[in-house]
Amino acid sequence: MPDSNFIDYVKIHCTSGHGGAGSVHLYRAKYIAKGGPDGGDGGRGGHIILKANPQLWTLIHLKYRKHVKAEDGGKGEGGLRTGKNGKDVILEVPVGTVAKDAETGEVLFELLEPGEEKILCKGGRGGLGNNNFKTPTLQTPRFAQPGDDGQEGWYILELKILADVGLVGFPNAGKSTLLASITSAKPKIANYAFTTLEPNLGIVKYYDDKSFVMADIPGIIEGAHEGKGLGIRFLRHIERNSVLLFMVSAEEEDINKGYETLLDELKEYNPELLDKGRVLAVTKCDLIDKEIEADLAKSLPKDISHVFISSISGEGLQQLKDILWQELHS
């Protein structure tokens, strides 16, 4: 099976540039044999910078780039000439990328806005030239500062998908079919569990040229927060969704229990996810009649909006769009 083009986790080793050394130089001219100090400062070492590019949606371009090194700063020169700064390395990443220290797991920063830039590894400061150390009692210092070392270490880059609505459900609950029905996305669809192995995004068109982004997240099973099934690999993508659409198939023996299981998995992973807007969709309703729908509706949770849908027949899809739009703008 070929590698997927969707890469949402990479580990890279970064080394920023070493600062250039300051210059030890004394001014000399035709009629000035012993001038004062005029050694220039060293240049700053190059930074390693992350920049959010809205045209990117995966970290695949960094998958095989394990080592990143920025340029060292140039040495200072006589005549108070400062050494050149080392060239920065700018790594473009998708919007929604999180940078972490690989050793401690500490979150360093997140890039949430297109074009946003943040320094991952700061370049070393350039050393001061001997001109900076002259005093009335030390008029010709013959020393200067070396440049500071750059930063070095292993870093983890993780991508969290940015979407308005995230689809949450068990494998084979109809999430991919819904996405294909109401957006132009073309996810893989088949009648077996874990068809979706990577998040898919689609744009849902609404009235008057309005739209919102929907993300199909790979299916959750009981124990996912402990690493079962596809584990927590994709649970983090749900963190960036404004509204969560819980999808439970009408084929389930107990729809309420299914919804509570999904809710518990999210709670165990990150309790803050329960603060997001929620909508419940009972899927595959082309398999049941209206009388059964009416009976099921009486037993559904009262604290969440619900809708019965069928991506095959189109039942309830417009109502679903209306509810999601209202939830997004409430």
- pLDDT (tens digit, 9 = 90+) per residue, 167-212? 888 877 788 888 888 886 554 444 434 344 467 778 888 988 889 9
In the predicted structure, residue 224 carries a pLDDT above the cut 50: no
- pLDDT (tens digit, 9 = 90+) per residue, 6-27? 678 899 999 999 999 999 999 8
Tokens matching residue 212 = 């919102």
Output phi, psi for 249, to 5 deg: -70, 145
Residue 233: what residue type?
R
- pLDDT (tens digit, 9 = 90+) per residue, 63-76? 889 999 999 999 99
In the predicted structure, residue 219 carries a pLDDT above the cut 70: no
CA distance 306 to 300: 8
In the predicted structure, residue 233 carries a pLDDT above the cut 70: no
| pLDDT of res. 287 | 86
The CA-based diameter of the chain, rounded to the nearest angstrom, is 107
Residue 16: what residue type?
S
**CA-based nearest residue to 324, from 205, 175, 234, 237:** 205
Residue ranges and CATH numbers for the domains of the chain are 1-159 (2.70.210.12), 163-328 (3.40.50.300)
| pLDDT of res. 191 | 46
- pLDDT (tens digit, 9 = 90+) per residue, 46-66? 999 999 998 888 898 998 899
Residues 24 and 142: beta-carbon distance below 8 Å: yes
